[in-house]
Amino acid sequence: MVELQKGDKKLLNAWAFYDWANSVYPLVITSAVFPIFYGALTIIKDADGNKISDTVAFLGYDFNNDSLISYVTAISFLVVSILSPILSGISDYVGNKENFMKFFCYMGAISCIGLYWFSMDNLFFGLLCYMTALIGFWGSLVFYNSYLPDIAFPEQQDKISAKGFSLGYIGSVLLLIVNLVMILKYDWFGFEDAGEPTRIAFIMVGIWWILFAQYTFKYLPTGTNEGQKVTRSVLVHGYNELKKIWKALKSNKVLRRYLSAFFVYSMAVQTIMIAATYFAVEELDWGKQDSTTGLIISILLIQLIAIVGANFTAKMSEKIGNIKTLIIIIFAWIAICAYAFFVYTPLQFYITAACVGLVMGGIQSLSRSTYSKLIPEQSEDTASYFSFFDVSEKIGIVIGMFMYGFVAEITGSMRYSILFLITFFIIGVILLYRVPKTEILT
């Protein structure tokens, strides 16, 4: 097969289609079905549905259930932060970026399938699958994102980045609707309760991810892979590349200041996106309303509105520039967090979810494409640049999740954790104001 040239529409669409394949993980596993499943397993309630205990015994210690999953999530991101420089360095040297992307894709998907056996009796195995699924998803994104400047010209990157997120939202919503029907109407499918179709949803995520990723892998450039051997020096090559990028940032004020801002505001964004459903399970008064239905409806609302948000943001950035658009979006995030502190009813949560959807897709797609535009045009080590970007994001998530879990642990409420995250957004806005104006971002 003839390798497609940079900027080719078929190549751009194939790249963006990986979002369709892998976005079922952050929706079904991170945001929707798994948090509800985890809450049902770890929260003990009385006959009237009132919470008796949310303490989980793990490795000889007692944890608040939300704090435990926050700490496991933080550790997972720490592993990704450590691994990604090594792996991106190897892929740059050997030239087989696609093979690494495949490895993490398959590891993540198989781990999702492994969640079928998650139970309190198999708590260690279940949390291990949760951890390796997360590592697989974010590990594959290191290489997926690094393809963007390789396959698209700067003027194409905002739109194709937004298209990727839009495809991801559409695809993941389709699968979630199928999962929702199976869980809520379990008797239609011959199940005795919602437990089994919930577990089957994890298997469906893994199969979907592997199956649809094949279209992307068919067209992405495979690299040279000219028999280069992976030696000890190659293993540290990634860290050496990060040092090189760090030094390059000293002379690139625009990129350096943008990364500083991204590190801080992304810390808050990613933490909220990961923890939102756990917050809803713990903090809302659902009354007689079925919380599972309500939560999944709100998540579907977020996904559908996020499609509009991602494309609207891309158009806004064309008119007023990337940095100004990001600042506006972050102010919206601050308002949402302040409102969320006073959210107690499902209706209030739906309103919050709609607002989150509008800004979630926009800030993700625009952050990625803004960074891609700022990478020096003649740079050949795009994987290392995006590794630096991803390491910054992951370390931010590690800090954010640990702080989120810690504040929830000492206050006994996740509300104060969300309120605490406003600080990161405010600092992020201040840092964005300090990014020098440049033609490529206006």
Q: What is the pLDDT of residue 21?
A: 93
Q: Is 341 helix (H, G, I), strand (E, B) or coil?
A: coil
d(C-alpha 146, C-alpha 245), whole Å:
14
From first to last of the 442 residues of the chain, give the pLDDT tens digit. 557 777 678 888 888 889 999 989 988 887 778 888 887 787 666 565 556 666 777 777 777 777 788 788 888 888 888 887 777 666 666 667 788 889 999 999 999 999 999 888 888 898 999 999 999 998 888 788 778 777 877 777 777 877 887 788 788 888 988 988 898 888 888 888 888 898 999 999 999 999 999 998 988 877 554 455 555 666 666 677 777 777 777 777 888 888 888 888 988 888 887 777 777 766 776 666 666 677 777 777 777 787 787 778 878 888 888 888 889 999 999 998 888 888 888 788 888 888 888 888 778 778 877 887 887 766 666 666 777 777 788 888 888 878 877 777 777 767 777 778 888 899 999 998 888 776 555 5
Q: What is the pLDDT of residue 238?
A: 65
User: Long-range pairs for 350-356 at CB < 8 Å and ≥24 separation?
Assistant: 350/294, 350/297, 350/298, 350/301, 353/298, 353/299, 353/301, 353/302, 354/301, 354/302, 354/305, 356/272, 356/276, 356/302
d(C-alpha 2, C-alpha 215), whole Å:
15
Asked whether the CA dihedral 89, 90, 96, 99 is positive or negative, the reply is negative
CB-based burial of residue 272 (10 Å sphere; 0-12 exposed, 13-18 middle, 19+ buried)? buried
Query: How many CA within 13 A on the CB side of residue 269?
Result: 27
CB-based burial of residue 349 (10 Å sphere; 0-12 exposed, 13-18 middle, 19+ buried)? buried
Q: What is the pLDDT of residue 151?
A: 80
pTM given for the model: 0.73
Q: What is the pLDDT of residue 123?
A: 86
Q: Is 174 helix (H, G, I), strand (E, B) or coil?
A: helix
Q: What is the pLDDT of residue 90?
A: 67
One-letter-per-residue 3-state SS of 58-70:
ECCEEEEHHHHHH
How many other C-beta atoms can be found within 10 angstroms of the C-beta atom of residue 353? 25
Q: What is the pLDDT of residue 223?
A: 59
Q: Which residues have C-beta within 8 Å of that of residue 309, sequence separation ≥ 6?
A: 357, 358, 359, 360, 361, 362
Q: Is 52 helix (H, G, I), strand (E, B) or coil?
A: strand
- 209 with 24: CB under 8 angstroms? yes
- 171 with 21: CB under 8 angstroms? yes
- 225 with 94: CB under 8 angstroms? yes
Q: Is 45 helix (H, G, I), strand (E, B) or coil?
A: strand
d(C-alpha 175, C-alpha 203), whole Å:
12
d(C-alpha 350, C-alpha 124), whole Å:
34
Please name each of the domains of the chain with its CATH number.
9-441 (1.20.1250.20)
Q: What is the pLDDT of residue 248?
A: 73
